Amino acid sequence: MEGRNLFFLMSIILLLIFTFLNLPSPLSHTTDQLLDCTTYSPWCSSRKPFFLRQPENSKNHYADFPNHPLDPLTIGEIQKVKKIVNSIAEFRIKGCVLHSVVLEEPEKEVVLNWRRGHRLPPRKAAVVARALGVVHVLSVDIETGRVTRRETGSYSGYPILTIEDMISATSAPFANSDFNRSIIQRGVDLADLACLPVAAGWYGKIEEKRRVIKVQCFTLKDTINFYMRPIEGLTVLLDLDTQQVIEISDGESIPIPKAANTDYRYSRIKKNKQKINLLKPISIEQPNGPSFTIENNHLVKWANWEFHLKPDPRAGVIISRVMFEDPDTGKMRNVMYKGFTSELFVPYMDPSDAWYFKTYMDAGEYGFGLQAMPLDPLNDCPRNAYYMDGVFVAADGTPYVRSNMICVFERYAGDIGWRHAECPITGLPIREVRPKVTLVVRMAASVANYDYIVDWEFQNDGLIRPKVGLSGILMVKGSPYVNMNEVNQNEYLYGTLLSENIIGVIHDHYVTFHLDMDIDGPSNNSFVKVNLQKEMTSSGESPRRSYLKAVRNVAKTEKDAQIKLKLYDPSEFHVINSNKKSRVGNPVGYKVVPGGTAASLLDHNDPPQKRAAFTNNQIWVTPYNESEQWAAGLFVYQSQGDDTLAVWSDRDRAIENKDIVLWYTLGFHHIPCQEDFPIMPTVSSSFEIKPVNFFESNPILNIPPNSPKDLPICKAAASA
């Protein structure tokens, strides 16, 4: 019995590391009782409240009130929503769960027509609730209390998992004697057991008409890095609602990797300790403070940019109403109505019984924002960063705070905005250089073992750069091998032997962005594919034999804008406003500039690829539809791929001179290597959203160069 209690405690601690930390104690109406679950996460249970005081330096969110139509729900509004939902008889029953409570954004036209100082549109909450196994999508008018039910269609899938789902899934297997026996036979002390709930995906009848989850376990003995000590071959399939074990897969007993050299904490690293401090401290100082301001908690202003910023439990960060002040006219011009991370797809490339289902949808199954961890000042974000908290909702409707979820800061890394120097033969003593300073919006999500760093970087020349960094810990597989010389030549390991008995399994990452481009307004936007084609010169026309020609093709319908990137078929991808022309007659626009990316190689009929069919192309363009926000569909858990971006796009709707949304997928192939052990150095990729004929000329001609009198002189310490 004591071992079982210890297991339950370790499972809860593990889940906190797994980022589903968010079930808070009930909020009272006193300010000092606001519970911050990122600080006091081990005690975030409505059944066992522990700390009810507000953490030191935490912001007081009780006084928050909305100032903008897109501002997230406040604590007071969430409490009203909870009361309204609880007043409905069918939701007062035991077992009713709120999977999501967020702002129901007003119609786009209403937001675009709203002006500061005007009355806010009616505030409504979008609620996803589940009662007696039935999922309900509700629209709750916060002022009037009116509740409207939304039709969701007959699509497959369930809402995002809750923390209660996670906790119950890790404790339920202990009611099964076969599971207990298998753990003990493998020589693992129950007190050291740590288990993870793993989304099961969808593969057929066993997942139909019931919510199921898989549970796999590790040992925490002698290391905090339990991911490197998997109990390989043991998988439990569990019914989430009945808590009954459906099936136990107990394969060949594989040696559990040793704990040596798996700890990554600075305080525990002893190897080459004398070489740890290779770098001297570095800090970028801003003697006059930062150049950006954040008004009313969510409106960001920097250089010529202005946009609305808010945390979101599913997307993580939402950037809205992105506008740029034209340097020639002084007018604010629309660039993008809304941009966010719509879905992440992470398939592992091992078809064996214990691994085939590891094909995660991190936003739709777990909530990308729910997994965002507090950012660490001076390490995650530099000095003079501004930190923004998220206010989210637990399964019982109670609001809680995710502290320091987003940071905003200016970056200067010695890069150059533009330059030109004349060579000596011209006799012109010209050397003009401008530094590049950018504004960064950052969030970091810890999705169990993996850490994702998502940046939205704004340049003062009108460019936006979404960027994704991958770090954290590999999900590894136990192996009987300690050296590659033991492996049969014909045996395939599905990955790389990283250390004794540890294989890093090959996998992919795909991050799909929803980009609602509004170039000088939402109407009359079109997608243009500008193909670069080789043209041959006529005989005698020129000493040249060939040249490149730009051929513009305006996409008429969605299928015209389904793009697979090809190195030897280069193109540019523009979103233009055909009704707005530059001074010399070019349509104004922005272009998506792909960076290093990867494409999914999985068969289109493979079940996980059916669910992730939005990765079949790198670019899609759809007509604006407020119900089409999530690339994998509204309900992703155990979905079958019948409500995805690919399904919508195959309707082949008209997109010329319309309000359109561009979707871009950033991809990574990851073949693990020893340098990824025991924790991975960050690998990043990005793409750019860049003006093309949007301005009459270079928009940063008026940016001054740096001058010594403007910058402080910092003296190095005497020891240097």
* Residues annotated as part of the active site: 362, 450
In the chain, helix, strand, coil percent, each to 5? Answer: 15, 35, 50
Q: Cα angle at 657 between 655 and 662, to 5 degrees?
A: 50
Helix axis angle, 2-17 to 163-171, nearest 10°: 150
- The amino acid at 384: N
Q: Cα angle at 704 between 701 and 705, to 5 degrees?
A: 115
Give CA–CA dist 82/397, Å, rounded: 5
User: Contacts by 142-147 with C-beta closer than 8 Å and gap 24+?
Assistant: 142/77, 142/80, 142/81, 142/84, 145/84, 145/87, 147/84, 147/85, 147/88
Residue burial 96-119, b: 16+ Cβ < 10 Å; e: rest: bbbbbbbbbbbebeebeebeeeee
**DSSP class of residue 599?**
-
Give CA–CA dist 150/613, Å, rounded: 26
Terminal C-alpha separation, the chain? 59
Q: Cα angle at 96 between 94 and 97, to 5 degrees?
A: 135
Structure tokens at 63: 């006084």
| Closest to 351 (Cα-Cα) out of 201, 466, 243, 461 | 201
Q: Name beta bridge partners: 318.
A: 310, 340
Give CA–CA dist 452/439, Å, rounded: 19
Q: Residue 222 phi/psi, 5° resolution? A: 70, 10
The CA-atom distances, in angstroms, between 515 and each of 1, 369, 394, 557 are 53, 18, 29, 18
Give CA–CA dist 464/132, Å, rounded: 45
Burial of 20 (0-12, 13-18, 19+ CB in 10 A): buried
Cβ neighbours for 391, distance < 8 A, ≥ 6 positions apart = 61, 64, 72, 73, 74, 75, 78, 311, 399, 400, 401, 402
Burial of 651 (0-12, 13-18, 19+ CB in 10 A): exposed
The CA-atom distances, in angstroms, between 481 and each of 158, 485, 497 are 40, 9, 8
Q: Name beta bridge partners: 598.
A: none
- The amino acid at 474: L
